[in-house]
Homo-oligomer: A and B are copies of this chain.
Amino acid sequence: MRKVRTFSSDTDLVNQRRNHIVKIATEQIIKRGYNNINTRELASALGMSTGGLYHYIGSKEDILYLIINFTSDLTCQSLSRFADEEKGKSCEDKLRDSIRNYFEIVENYRDFHNFVNHIMLSLPVKDRKIVYKAESRVIDYYEELIADGIAEGVFEAQDARLAAHNIIVMANAWANRGWFLKKHYTLREYTDEQTDAILSHLRRSPKKNGHKQLQPVKQKA
């Protein structure tokens, strides 16, 4: 991960300042775009001068990396939290609860999720892997959970990876497509509807019966 320069040797102060930079810069960048806000404006939004800002970072671009690091940490915390809360629950309840948790995290940290999705093209390709890696861990978590459900006979046999990926996509849609979704749904409504969609597919996948038998399946219902 990229090393960000600071002139301060006070680690606590550096962390404190940088957390503040991450928070405010994310808001501003999401609102206006990374390239539509200059360092003077950023510094002003932070309540500092540019010199003060450069006491803690080495370049404007460093801010992007601070934010990405913060978001990756969030992802790790999410996974730890899911693992802590899943003990003693059925596969389906685990899945339902962790979907709700993840959607809430996406809502609470919407700016960071939006940020990462949109800033990706500004990064060198090798640095995009940091982001990919963090997100792949979430996909892996859900894939394993779904695969366990399939092994236990709770879910129908199907492509667990794609089902897991769809959960991430739906969560990101909430963060990215507020222009449409928030006109029509609350987070709770959206979460419930999407959880239902995911579970209805997991419980009874028509793929098992092949496409040509779709009509017979319907008659048996």
Q: When the two chains form the complex, which single residue of B121, B139, B179, B193 contacts A33, counting CB atoms closer than 8 Å?
A: B121
Q: Which residue of B lies closest to A156 (CB)?
A: B200
Q: Check: A83 CB closer than 8 A to any chain B CB.
A: no
Chain B hits for A199, CB < 8 A: 206, 214
Q: Which of A143-178 contact B (CB under 8 A)?
A: 159, 161-163, 165-166, 169-170, 173, 177
Q: When the two chains form the complex, which single residue of B35, B132, B184 contacts A122, counting CB atoms closer than 8 Å?
A: B35
State A47–B37 Cα separation when bound (angstroms): 32
Q: Check: A6 CB closer than 8 A to any chain B CB.
A: no
Task: Give the distance to chain B from A182, nearest Cβ to Cβ, in Å.
Answer: 12
Cβ of A162 and Cβ of B139 under 8 Å apart? no
Chain B hits for A194, CB < 8 A: 162, 166
Q: Give A101-132 as 1s and 0s: 1 = Cβ < 8 Å from B's Cβ atoms.
A: 00000000000000000101110000010001
Given contacts A139-B180, A169-B169, A180-B139, contact A206 B207 (CB under 8 A): no
Cβ of A193 and Cβ of B180 under 8 Å apart? no
* Band of interface residues on A: 35 or more
Q: Check: A204 CB closer than 8 A to any chain B CB.
A: yes
Q: How many copies does the complex hold?
A: 2
Chain B hits for A161, CB < 8 A: 184
Given contacts A33-B122, A201-B197, A201-B201, contact A169 B177 (CB under 8 A): yes
Chain B hits for A34, CB < 8 A: 35
Q: Check: A196 CB closer than 8 A to any chain B CB.
A: yes
Instruction: Supply 16 further A-B pairs (C-beta < 8 A) apart from A165-B180, A192-B211.
Output: A33-B121, A33-B122, A35-B122, A36-B122, A92-B214, A132-B179, A162-B194, A169-B169, A193-B207, A196-B206, A196-B207, A197-B205, A199-B206, A200-B204, A200-B205, A203-B218
